[in-house]
Amino acid sequence: MHPKKLGYSKDILYLVKKSCAVFSHKRNPSLRSMININHDEAFYIIKKIMIALPDHFFYNANKKKLNDMIAFIAKNFILFQSQEEINGDHYAYNLINFIDDLTSAIGIRYYQSRR
């Protein structure tokens, strides 16, 4: 993974953790209690998502668009993961569909294109 995308992955994880803290009203809630996975699993999945997303989404974005896109990805990841069980029979299939839908949503929202 390109170092910039790895950095964006860390930014997304940070936002996920902070959002979970706000939602739980605790200072240091466990991610597992909020989105059914631990820190390492969350970072692993976020990196997989970032690898799958087209590079041009990130490298053609100005700073404002990039920050908004990172927040958008974090929000959608929380919504997806809070409904999923990582060890579930259909998790991989649902993750692939999530990434495909996220790719389309980012293309439409930020670039007015399907991909």
What integer pLDDT is reported at residue 11 of this predicted model? 97
| pLDDT at residue 114 greater than cutoff 60 | no
Mean pLDDT across the chain, nearest whole number?
89
Q: How do the residues of the chain divide into helix, strand and coil, expressed in percent and rounded to 5?
A: 75, 0, 25
Please name which of 32, 29, 14 lies closest in space to residue 70, comparing C-alpha atoms: 14
| pLDDT at residue 79 greater than cutoff 90 | yes
Percentage of residues in the chain with pLDDT exceeding 70? 89
Q: For residues 114 and 38, which has the higher predicted lDDT (pLDDT)?
A: 38
User: Average pLDDT of 63-88?
Assistant: 94
What integer pLDDT is reported at residue 35 of this predicted model? 80
Query: What pTM was computed for the model?
Result: 0.90
What integer pLDDT is reported at residue 30 of this predicted model? 64
What integer pLDDT is reported at residue 12 of this predicted model? 97
